[in-house]
Every structure is written in structure tokens, then in C-alpha cells.
Structure 1
Amino acid sequence: MSAALGILLLTAAVAVLLAAGRMRRNQQLLSDANDEARAALRVVSRALAATGVGGSVYAYLDDVGNKQQRAALIFTNGAAPLSAPDMPQAPDTITLLRYAADRRSELVENLVGPLLRLTPDPRLSTTPGVIPDIFQAGESALVTNFQRAMLLPVSKHELNGPARTVDVETGLVNPVLLQDAQIPIEPGSSVFPVQVVRYRVLHVPAAGNQPERGDLVMETLNPRTLAVLDQSVLARDVEDFQVQWAYDRNDDGVADGGYSDDGPTGTAIDPGLTFARVSISARTSAQLVSDKGPFEAKGEMTPFERGLDLGGAEQPPPSGYRRRVLSTVVLLKNLAAPRI
């Protein structure tokens, strides 16, 4: 009897330990999915909020030397499955100017050739984060008087100590060719270090024991060709990335008619474009389990099980995976130059 009782107690203790282990594993998977998606949402939201600093449209020279114009924010509504049938969501894509935090300069001389003369960072060199010559590797210069703007590649930059200026060479691109004769960019215009970046979901095929997944990536692009220069993963196991837009044309601080998929896609941006709602559906990297195997949704699936609601489009099949659906609303400050 004592032995039997001991076995029962030991069995119960083992069952409790196994249940605790499963719960800890499940909570860790959910926490990882939540933390990565939340951090990615913060990065995208901050970039969106700052996009309009230099106006909505900028001039640039393409790779063959022709003058072009491009919007500071370009949206592509996702129209194709990421990977059917397991991950059928249709991710959106946004391409925008990403501004360097806390760095800004001013033009101190007229544009005369492929050289910009700017003011340096005015803060003490001992201040954390100070970059006296303003630019870092891979950044471009957005020069703007907040009515017109131009984007210039930076081939070299150095601090001219005695003159207290920063000399920025723009390589083969002559900024004079990008001037607008009616509204020229003159000394005193603002200069921002920027990168052209694209946020999108990239499908990663299954490999070994790792199931297929989608990664939300930030791609740094060549400002003249939009070719990918660098790619970094913001969040793994993302099933969908959506951006919806709202307009406030009467300036009452309230969205007119709610949110829609109609966003900025060309060089002309509606001055009434005021809000962006960014949503990320991230699933756990592995299935959650119970003592009977993988969890399964019972009855109608909630957003926790199914991910984002695509308005009737096909949803992921029930499985042991669980999803964190995160969303935030971004105020698009100064997105269109007429509102500055």
C-alpha cells in the first residue's frame, strides 16, 4: 500500500512538473511573439510619424542622370498571398524616408556644384550620441526649404574644423541641377541625414525542423535605383503586416469616414491624409501544446487564433499556433508640405 501510494504521489508530481513545463514554454513562445512584434511596430510607427518632415515630394537624379520626383511615402496594398495555403495573408509594403534621430543641419552657402557646406552638430563633442560631421555611412542628405526638397547621395563628408562647417561631397550628382527656379533652395535651408527604407514581409521557406514563416524586414535602398543595399529582420514569424489610412480634410481632428486601404501611391499626396493605422499579426514560432497535444481553436476563432481579419479572405487553418495581433494609430505630422 505504501509503495502504491508513493507511485501515485510521484505520478501526480511528475504530471504537475510536466504541466508547469508546458505552461512555461507556452508563455515564453507568446512572450517572444509579443515582444518582437511590439518592437517592430514601434520602429515602423516612428518612421511613419517623421516621414513628412521635409515635405511630401523630393527631387533626385536617377542612375542615368535624369531628374525625377518621388514621394517621401509610397504605399503598396498587399494583393497576393504570402504563401498559400498555410500563410494566406496579404502583406502591405511601405517605402519611406527614415530620418536620423536628433541630427539636423543647415546650408550655409549657395549651391554651386557637387558640394554642400553645412553647420556641424552644435552640441559638445562629449555629449553621448553627438556626430559632429552630421552623417554616418550609408546616409543621404535631404535638403529642403519646406516647399521644395532634393535628395542627394553622400560620397564623402568631413568636419572643416577651422571654419566650423561640414563639407559634404555628393559625387556625380550636382544639386544645382535639382533646383526649382521658382523656389530655389538657399542658405538657411534644412539638411537631414536620411535613408530610403522599405518595410515588408518576406517569406522564409521551411528548413529542417523549422516551419515556413514570414519575417518583417526593413530594407535599406539605393536612393537612385531603389535596389536593396541592406536587409535587417525586425520580427520573425509575422503572418501579416497591414497599413490603413484615414483622411481629415476639414481639420477637425477626426477621421473622415474611418480607415481604408487607399493610401499614398504617387507623387501627389492628399493634404488631408492625417492618420495611419499599422497592424501586425505575429504567430508563435512553434505550436502551443497541452497534455493532449497541440491546442486547437474551438468554435469561432478569435483574432488570437486567426490573426488579422481580412474581410472574408481565407484564414489560416486551426492549429496549435497562436497569434498576437498588435495595432497602433500614427499621426502623420507634416506629411504634405501645404500643411506645414
Structure 2
Amino acid sequence: LRSLKPTQPNNPKLLRVAIVGLPNVGKSTLINHIMQWKICSVSKKVHTTRQNARAVLVEGDTQIVFLDTPGVVDLDHGRKHNLEATMVVGPEHSLVNADVVGVMVDVADHWRRDKLDSNILRLLSFHKDKDAFLILNKIDQLRSKRKLLESIHTLTEGVVDGTQTFRKNARKKKELNEEELFARTESGALNRETVPETNSGGWPHFKRVFMVSALNDDGVEDIRNYLLQSAKLQQWLFPEHFVTDQNPHEIALTTVKSKILDHLEKEVPYHLGVKIDTWDIDTAGVLHIAIAIKGSNVRHVKNVIGGEGKVIRKIASESRQELANTFRCEVSLKLIVNKVE
């Protein structure tokens, strides 16, 4: 399907979107909800997305191509954690072909919510010609609206779409009505009277700011509409029914890996190998998959299986359901666990 020349609508529009951010901020979850289809694997642990993947949304005459990138890491971090080269250079490559860039920040992480990572700032500086928008994720986990407003101001350096969002003679914080301020910010117009001026660790060239809870699908529709409206007249890159450039085998393996990450402790998941053993579709349209999970030692194998097989059954059950949702067909999944000989 990928190699087919796409049939163009009368007035084709196209937008290529790169979503970047630190590991585990919710990029894949956001794309899945915008697509309304589970395309990108997610896990509670970091480094689930190992390389760039494309997801394609078509609505009417508009095609949006999303680039789901690994979390932004530097070379030292990649070497320290033995990460593939694609995880270090992936985000950088995605921005080269993107029309717009979404920068996602986890506002529930109080250590990182008030300052953009230096590697992200470097990427933005290299691609200053591209429109960028800020996505504050996990707002449901941040109780203080005041802190949310302060994070917005710091991350944007007090400027959104070329407009200053502060005033030097602004009233004191305690005189402001937080409910009113939050409502104004949420509607897209950051008021000049919000918080004091600051200029550390931010980017003053964001076109828009979005506050979302990607997991709860809260605020995601606003981003979806913004992207559809930002598309320009240009021919489509992919056929209408093309959804992702990921190999189906790779989707299955990544899904199982993400569930292993969710259910196993500490370093164990990173010492396991997974590979497709069998792959077959029967006459009834049921997809039969067998995946081998190899542990480097007996302890790892026992951890994967769990007491009375409870862990592996849970991994298999959740993986099967997720694959059925992704492939939109009935799936029979068998996981085979043994030690590397």
C-alpha cells in the first residue's frame, strides 16, 4: 500500500508534524488519540518508541503525517543506556522533513516543567523557520492552576505568537483571580497580567499553547483541529487508506515489549529479546501470532513467567487486545518464554 501512488482529491492539503519531547512525556499517547487509532506503542517506562514512525490521518481533502519520535536524548545518555543510534538521531531527522513542530512537556514532572531541555532548544534553534507549538501534557495531575500558568510563561519566555504575555506594571499575583486567568489562558489568549517576566529555558517563538491530558483525551481535539486548519495546499504523500509505515511484525513486537516493560521490574525488560516465531491468517480472518521471548538467564525467565504463570498471562492478554485494536481483526497470540541457549 505504501508504494502505491496516492489518488489525489480535488484540493489536496498536507501537513507533516513532528512531535518531540523528553522520554515518556506522552507523545505516542497523544498521536494515538489524535488518530483515534492505537498506532504507536506506549508504556509507563521510558524508551518505548525506539525509532521514528509515521502515522497518517486523513480527513476530507487533508492529510496529516505524524512523525512519532523517540524521546530526545543526548549522545552521552545514549551511550550510557546502550540505546540504538536511531534513538539519538531520530528526533533530529524528523524535524528536517516536518512543516510544524509540537514540543511536549510533562507538567506533572516538577523538575522539568519549567525549563525546556537544552537539546530541544537546540533543535528548535536549528529549525527556527518552522512553526512550533507547545503542548503541556498531564494537566490533570497538576492541581495548581497558578503553577500551570507560571510554567506556560516560563516555557514561552512570556511570548506567544509574537505577543508579549506580561506587563511590567502588572498587578501582584495575590490580587489575581486564578479561575479567570485559567479560563483566559485556556481559550488561547494568555493575558498580559498573568505572571512576572522571566526568560530562562524557554522558547519565545511558539505559535500556540495547548493544555491537555493525552491519556484522558482531554484537549486533544483542539490540537487536531489546529493541525487540520494549518495544512497547506500540497499533494498527498500516501494513499487514502494508509495508516502507518510501521511493519506489522514490528508493531506486534513493540506492543509485546511495551507490556513487558509495564509488568516487569527494574532492568529485567531490557535484558529480554523478542522475535516473531510464526505469523499466519486463517480462512476466517483470524491473525495467529506466536512470539518467542528469550531471557539471558533463568532468573529473567522466571520473572517473565511469574508465579503460576500470572505475569506472562497478563502480558499476553493485554498484548492480544491491543493488537486486535490496532489491526482491527481477531488476534490469537501465543508467547513462548525460554532461556537463550
Length-normalised TM-score, structure 1: 0.22
As a proportion of its length, which structure holds more helix? 2
Structure showing greater Rg: 1
As a proportion of its length, which structure holds more strand? 1
